[in-house]
Amino acid sequence: MDVKSIQNIDSARQINSQNLQALDQKNQVRIQKETIKQQEEKIEKLKNEKVSPEVVEKVLEELRKKLSMLNTQLQIKIDKDTDITVVKVVDKQTNKVIRQIPPEYVLKIAKYLDEITGLLLREKA
């Protein structure tokens, strides 16, 4: 076997290794998206039903456990300006927001509408 064929084998192994890593990352992202979608469906069902706070807390804890296995974190906060509940799925390593419900632009629109409403009421009075 000559040196060139050994180099070709090594480069092929490197390419295969890189391809496997890329596939693994894609699978993790796919699993995360599926989990988020399933949980969003559960949340939609809960919105349409009257549910006790204990049940909501149980569902949220279940969701947090599942997301922690995927190296993600669930954050639930109330926006100070609009009093709207904001749910964020955040990557633990990078602290990057993967998904936010409602999106940031919706919060900005709601804040803007509140400001306009306040101005109109002040002008009429």
List the beta bridge partners of residue 78: 85
pTM: 0.47
- 75 three-state secondary structure: strand
**Mean pLDDT of the residues in the chain:** 77
- Statement: residue 77 has pLDDT above 80: yes
Biggest distance spanned by C-alpha atoms of the chain: 92
- Statement: residue 56 has pLDDT above 80: no
